[in-house]
Structure 1
Amino acid sequence: MSSSMTAEAAPLSYYTTADVRLNVRGGPGTDYSIVRTLPGGSKVLIYCQTPGTTVTGTYGTSNIWDNISNGEFVSDTYVQTGSDGYIASRCA
């Protein structure tokens, strides 16, 4: 498995997704293919964050994408992090 776009050592926290079906993509943008979907209110770990496609979602408009697993990204605008900015380290 590729180790590009994995997190550096940082404390990990679970965050709750918006109450909508959420597309999980293979990269940080809407031009990446959907690899799976999450039901609304899912708990996700954010390993790292990276800029990508700007999206308007439940929690505003942002270009931040959250890496929730190896090769799996969701728009930060659908994750309740309590912040409009980065809350985790940048993906390598």
Structure 2
Amino acid sequence: MTTQDDLGSVEPAGDQVLAAASAGVTYPVAPGYRVKVRQGPGTGYPVVRQLPEGARIQIRCQRHGQSVSGPYGTSDLWDSIGPGQYVSDAYVRTGSSGMVAPRCTN
């Protein structure tokens, strides 16, 4: 089952997203990349750290932000991996072009 938000994005229904997020699922960062972790959902936010090549991340929640092109296409989704820590979904292999975690509330 999927839902469609006001931006026209199709995403998995709530129960499926919550189950994936609570199951401790991790996703690989694109091979050969050291992805920058930023304070917010865009390249204008300061870099707080950089993930090493071969890193896997657990996505706490996702939000729409600046559109970025990467090895997995162009996306305006940003994955929160910790408080004030976001990576562009275009660099994370989630197997979906939509949300795979709950929407960030702030």
Structure 2 Cα separation of the partners of residues 41 and 56 of structure 1: 19
Q: Secondary structure of the residue that 1:80 maps to in structure 2? A: coil
Structure 2 Cα separation of the partners of residues 90 and 40 of structure 1: 27
C-alpha root-mean-square deviation of aligned residues, in Å? 1.5
Q: TM-score, normalised by structure 2?
A: 0.76
Specify which of 21, 26, 35 is matched with residue 14 of structure 1: 26
The 5-angstrom pairing of residues 17-56 of structure 1 reads: 17-19=29-31, 20-56=33-69
Specify which of 62, 81, 87 is matched with residue 94 of structure 2: 81
Query: What's the counterpart of residue 64 of structure 1?
Result: 77
| Post-superposition offset of 1:39 | 1.2
Structure 1 Cα separation of the partners of residues 52 and 42 of structure 2: 19
| Larger strand fraction of residues | 1
Q: TM-score, normalised by structure 1?
A: 0.87
Question: Equivalent pairs: percent with the same residue?
Answer: 51
Gaps of 5+ in 2: 1-17
| Larger helix fraction of residues | 2
Count of aligned pairs between the two proteins: 85
Gaps of 5+ in 1: 1-7
- Report the structure number with the largest CA radius of gyration: 2
